[in-house]
Structure 1
């Protein structure tokens, strides 16, 4: 590999493009979109936009938000990102009840199933934990501090997920590793017991999800990766149960190149459904859309259930989310800091229906992309989450390319010659005084 190729990633250091993110309340009471430093929330029950209130010591986010998450019960919401701030919101009042300052930029967040702990990961490979015990959701707390829980070795952590039941916390990184850690009874003292490593991906791991059923209460882990595969794991032993090679199953003449953006789980009555966003990852590829996989827990296998094409939509998702029961898959496309256009930050929201329980088998219940007027919340929701100014298709195509480039620069580990490595060590600016 030539030195020019090895150092190509550095040429885009000044362009910090961040993908738009979306998160849906577990029972679909609200939906949140983050683009850049802007956090937008719409109340689906009340049919109105939400005004966020932040009386904490810290400011609103002043840099790109990289992670948003509802708690399992929907009472808490967390946002975090490049400004090194982790903000915890009460979804009853949408007031920021706690702000925690991180030492590094935040790359992933997770909330424990009981809502008592918030975990966040940084780009240096450390996972931190914040104890929410005693946190009053009606007033601002200023005395909550983070404590180190575990660490990967100097690798950007790309995913955090609590297991079904909450016994384990799973962390993934850009160096292909998935670590399963026993979540301790006293997390502030650190998580030192490693249950297993799930090793097998050959590129960065980008997403984690759990599938479970009554006869399998612990559940199985599903991971997506830049190697164009979705994999099923037994986390107790770390053993690989099945591998689904996405590019081999698509009706495409081109080659799928590696960035499975998100894997989101929807629990069906007979099937565990996994939805994979692919469109952002296509280079010279004719397919745009999402792929729906089913997980047969008894056979411990993954198989394709449906392919939902979005050709002609000019919509390339950057994030997906779904509630637990509404049967709707929410998607957002967009970026912040798009250079050279009048819309430096833009979003577009789309919704696919047809994910109700057991509805993926009968042919008459095909997943359908809803028209704007059919989306819950209608025009008011769209105006809040994506704005009222129309954006040309070419801008969204440019945004998709910008996201693809930015995420590749972030997740594909750069290689340097020995002289350059030594120079970078001498000139690094993150050393503490």
Structure 2
């Protein structure tokens, strides 16, 4: 038998790191952080750490968590990742009320606005749906089965979002496609009606604060902007092409494009201008997303760069409540090789997003001191841990995150010969001799 091991150890997952993630309850009742396989939650109302309850008796997750999020009404929380498990938690009791086994590793999750369905995407480009009817958060753990909803066909899905009115589910992949699909009345039968495609992220460049490197044209994040005047909402997408884009999803029309790097004049730590940077996360706040947005004119406005967070703080995830008074950010990774720390996390909270006077100048964004953060030391000890980490370690972690994101989001290019060689190594292609 031929030796079919991929060269260069490109599939050696021991070399991967998992960026830290953060998610905030819609009414800021709690904050959740995931780093590696560790899931940490802090109850802001009770000012105490949350003890998660999983009746399987095993670790909550056995491998790196890649997606966490609250449902729109805050009653559900979902976590998923490389262990192929999707866990649904009740935020009232913080018990795991449903567990779903995926066929492939999970890359993105979304919860329907009514909280009756959880959708997740796997590494093969398939979006699955789980029916949560009948779960009230007080019953014993239920093992659910997922049904296929739609597919992007062999392209990793990087982000899933439900539209504000719940009519559509929007999916983005690493091949620059954004698909808007009508969410059916019977989701378990599949989604067969495509509303539109939002196509525009096609150039070979990059976007977002402080993670920089040779990325590709993937669409990395989706988010919706909506107000009482615009309940249908507008889609915002961030990508590897150095743009943030604003869309009307009904016709799939591109409304505006912000060339983020050039407008903001982003520079590196040595003062050199950076031509390429990538969007790692999006968090929509009324009027501000680092880029202000005028929904009445459907255009982007001024670009505001948060520059007072320190050189070693490289945000890997963002979160905010529906009131958007505070922006929660996190940096950190798991499985950082060459250091004694199994996982690193640092949480910082920014204030100053709410305008108090109409037409007033944008308020100055400030990073809250540790004692000003809701929950203060108790929260930080729970979400970060009590280990003090040197700045150089976080800088090394930032480099590891860049490499990990490259491996995740950029499609590998192979020669015809190498492609045929790899095909011969597939289990479903091997022939007996």
Give the alignment's TM-score, normalised by structure 2. Answer: 0.90
Partner of residue 4, structure 2: none
Cα distance, 1:8–1:264 mapped onto 2, change above 3 Å: farther
Partner of residue 254, structure 1: 273
Deviation at 1:419, TM superposition (A): 1.2
Equivalent in 416, 420, 423 of residue 422 of structure 1: 420
Deviation at 1:144, TM superposition (A): 2.2
Q: Using the alignment, how far apart are the partners of 1:167 and 1:388 within structure 2? A: 44
Deviation at 1:256, TM superposition (A): 3.8
- Residues 103-136 of structure 1 show CA distances to partners (whole Å, capped at 9, x for unaligned) of 0000000000010100000110000000111113
Cα distance, 1:11–1:126 mapped onto 2, change above 3 Å: closer
Q: Using the alignment, how far apart are the partners of 2:201 and 2:303 within structure 1? A: 23
Partner of residue 244, structure 1: 258
Deviation at 1:9, TM superposition (A): 8.6
Partner of residue 334, structure 2: 336
Deviation at 1:241, TM superposition (A): 0.8
| 1:76-91 pair list within 5 angstroms | 76-91=76-91
Assess if the C-alpha contact under 8 Å between 1:225 and 1:258 holds in 2.
Answer: no
The alignment covers a number of residue pairs equal to: 406
Give the alignment's TM-score, normalised by structure 1. Answer: 0.90
Partner of residue 69, structure 2: 69
Give unmatched runs, 5+ long, in structure 1: 1-6, 275-291
Q: Using the alignment, how far apart are the partners of 1:273 and 1:354 within structure 2? A: 11
Q: Secondary structure at the match of 2:419?
A: helix
- Residues 80-112 of structure 1 show CA distances to partners (whole Å, capped at 9, x for unaligned) of 000000000000010000100000000000000
Identify the range of structure 1 (121-130 vs 134-143) with the bigger mean alpha-carbon deviation.
134-143
Q: Secondary structure at the match of 2:420?
A: helix
Confirm whether residue 192 of structure 1 aligns to residue 192 of structure 2.
yes
| 1:73-222 pair list within 5 angstroms | 73-202=73-202, 203-222=217-236
Deviation at 1:361, TM superposition (A): 6.0
Pick the structure with more strand per residue.
1
Q: Secondary structure at the match of 2:142?
A: coil
Q: Secondary structure at the match of 2:304?
A: strand
Confirm whether residue 39 of structure 1 aligns to residue 39 of structure 2.
yes
Confirm whether residue 388 of structure 1 aligns to residue 403 of structure 2.
no
Deviation at 1:294, TM superposition (A): 1.5
Equivalent in 299, 319, 322 of residue 320 of structure 2: 322
Deviation at 1:164, TM superposition (A): 1.1
Cα distance, 1:430–1:410 mapped onto 2, change above 3 Å: farther
Q: Secondary structure at the match of 2:378?
A: helix
Assess if the C-alpha contact under 8 Å between 1:56 and 1:96 holds in 2.
Answer: no
| 1:285-304 pair list within 5 angstroms | 292-304=290-302
Partner of residue 279, structure 1: none
Deviation at 1:215, TM superposition (A): 3.3
Q: Using the alignment, how far apart are the partners of 2:201 and 2:12 within structure 1? A: 27
Deviation at 1:317, TM superposition (A): 0.6
Q: Using the alignment, how far apart are the partners of 1:244 and 1:192 within structure 2? A: 32
Q: Secondary structure at the match of 2:199?
A: coil
Cα distance, 1:54–1:330 mapped onto 2, change above 3 Å: same
Cα distance, 1:26–1:357 mapped onto 2, change above 3 Å: farther
Cα distance, 1:142–1:40 mapped onto 2, change above 3 Å: same
Assess if the C-alpha contact under 8 Å between 2:242 and 2:278 holds in 1.
Answer: yes
Assess if the C-alpha contact under 8 Å between 1:9 and 1:409 holds in 2.
Answer: no
Q: Using the alignment, how far apart are the partners of 1:217 and 1:382 within structure 2? A: 36
Deviation at 1:39, TM superposition (A): 0.1
Q: Using the alignment, how far apart are the partners of 1:244 and 1:174 within structure 2? A: 20
Q: Using the alignment, how far apart are the partners of 1:201 and 1:372 within structure 2? A: 39
- Residues 353-375 of structure 1 show CA distances to partners (whole Å, capped at 9, x for unaligned) of 11124579645831101111111
Cα distance, 1:342–1:214 mapped onto 2, change above 3 Å: same
Give unmatched runs, 5+ long, in structure 2: 1-6, 203-216
Deviation at 1:145, TM superposition (A): 1.3
